[in-house]
Amino acid sequence: MAERFHTPPPFPAARLRRARRTAPLRALVRETGLSPEDLIWPLFLLEGEGRREAVESMPGVERLSIDLAVEAARAAVGLGIPAICLFPKTDPAKKSDACEEAWSPDNLTNRAIRALKAEVPEIAVMTDIALDPYNPAGHDGYLKGGEIVNDETVEALVKMALAQAEAGADILGPSDMMDGRIGAIRGALEEAGHRDVLILSYAAKYASAFYGPFRDAVGARAALEGAEIKGAAKGDKSTYQMDPANSDEALRLVARDLAEGADMVMVKPGMPYLDVCRRVKEAFGVPTFAYQVSGEYAMIEGAAARGWIDGERAMLESLLAFKRAGCNGILTYYAPRVARLLGG
């Protein structure tokens, strides 16, 4: 886009500070903005009724029972937030090597989707497709002989996707990084008549240290750190998630997922990968999202709690950065707080 630049005349004809002098002048020349409509709110679910549970490593974030998630969704609509994304904390007794709970029509996520679609039809409901909340090994795919097996996992993911679509999900979010899953899911959705279900592919998802608090929130951390896997350390998903050193590969993954039928794509984590967001948006021009993940949230909140940074300003600045980088929207645990602040 550099060719669009007008070279400023020499000083003093150009004094770029002129337009920064007052708040209204700055508002007038502002290039990007943040609105509640840019937000997808990730919500953690737990069993029961009238129950809320703090997530210790994410101050201010709670797991909610379905009835309270419905209330939260209603509040989100009032704040102008267009979508929520559901993540279940599965009862350990329901985890199994075959991960059958993942496609049970009555699992926590699918019951929540039905309740939300019945009670708060104004909000779009997004889901996560990966086996980690259901897998005793804590991994996103089946662990066999020390490896995360691809094709068997994709078969399970397809069943999971169909169950979520059947329950009424608007947007499916495959976050597992297996090969071939977008095509398989899209084909199965078409065949089952779910023609209008969107796929927001976690296309460029990196093997990141910033997911730690999320793994606490869904109860997958201990299992993951105990699982032996070939080619990676315990607790490390590097045999399927991306190498943080790569960015061309992100473009190949996005191209691949779009060709297989994804409607929208995501880069994850967010702030350490803004360069990737920018490249994806410029290369493809498709709806592009970033996930400001649990560890990014925890860093800002941790520093703010100690008085080391101004938490509110850091929140706004971090979210605006995604818009500046070209993202259409952001998955963020800050969604309700920032929407309230923006006057939604």
Give the residues lining the site for ligand PBG (CB under 6 A).
128, 130, 132, 140, 175-176, 211, 214-215, 237, 293-294
Q: Using CA atoms, how far apart are residues 31 and 5, in angstroms rounded to an integer?
A: 14
Structure tokens at 334: 């800050």
Closest CB 331 distance from ligand PBG, rounded Å = 8
Q: Using CA atoms, how far apart are residues 200 and 84, in angstroms rounded to an integer?
A: 13
Do residues 312 and 320 touch, judged by C-beta distance below 8 A?
no
Closest CB 241 distance from ligand PBG, rounded Å = 6
Question: Is 117 in the active site?
Answer: no
Closest CB 128 distance from ligand PBG, rounded Å = 5
Catalytic entry in 205, 237, 281, 323: 205
Closest CB 131 distance from ligand PBG, rounded Å = 8
Catalytic entry in 89, 95, 237, 268: 268
> Is the peptide bond prior to 12 cis by the omega test (within 30 degrees of 0)?
yes
Q: What is the 8-class DSSP label of residue 216?
A: H
Pick between residue 170 and residue 176 the one whose CB is nearest to ligand PBG. 176
229: three-class secondary structure by DSSP = coil
Q: Using CA atoms, how far apart are residues 340 and 6, in angstroms rounded to an integer?
A: 38
Pick between residue 21 and residue 137 the one whose CB is nearest to ligand PBG. 137
Closest CB 218 distance from ligand PBG, rounded Å = 8
Question: Is 205 in the active site?
Answer: yes
Cα dihedral sign for 111, 158, 89, 241? negative
Q: Using CA atoms, how far apart are residues 169 and 334, in angstroms rounded to an integer?
A: 22
Pick between residue 119 and residue 179 the one whose CB is nearest to ligand PBG. 179
Pick between residue 235 and residue 311 the one whose CB is nearest to ligand PBG. 235
Structure tokens at 211: 């997911």
Pick between residue 162 and residue 218 the one whose CB is nearest to ligand PBG. 218
Q: Which amino acid is at 15?
A: R
Q: Using CA atoms, how far apart are residues 292 and 252, in angstroms rounded to an integer?
A: 22
Closest CB 249 distance from ligand PBG, rounded Å = 17
Q: Using CA atoms, how far apart are residues 37 and 71, in angstroms rounded to an integer?
A: 19
Pick between residue 130 and residue 223 the one whose CB is nearest to ligand PBG. 130
Round the CA-based radius of gyration of the chain to a whole number and report it: 21
CA torsion 203-208-210-211 (nearest 10°) is: 70
Closest CB 214 distance from ligand PBG, rounded Å = 3
Residues whose CB is less than 8 angstroms from the CB of residue 327 and which lie 6 or more positions away in sequence, other chains included: 38, 267, 277, 281, 288, 289, 290
Nearest CA to 302 out of 63, 62, 54, 58 is that of: 58
Pick between residue 65 and residue 297 the one whose CB is nearest to ligand PBG. 297
Do residues 112 and 90 touch, judged by C-beta distance below 8 A?
no
Catalytic residue numbers, as ranges: 205, 268
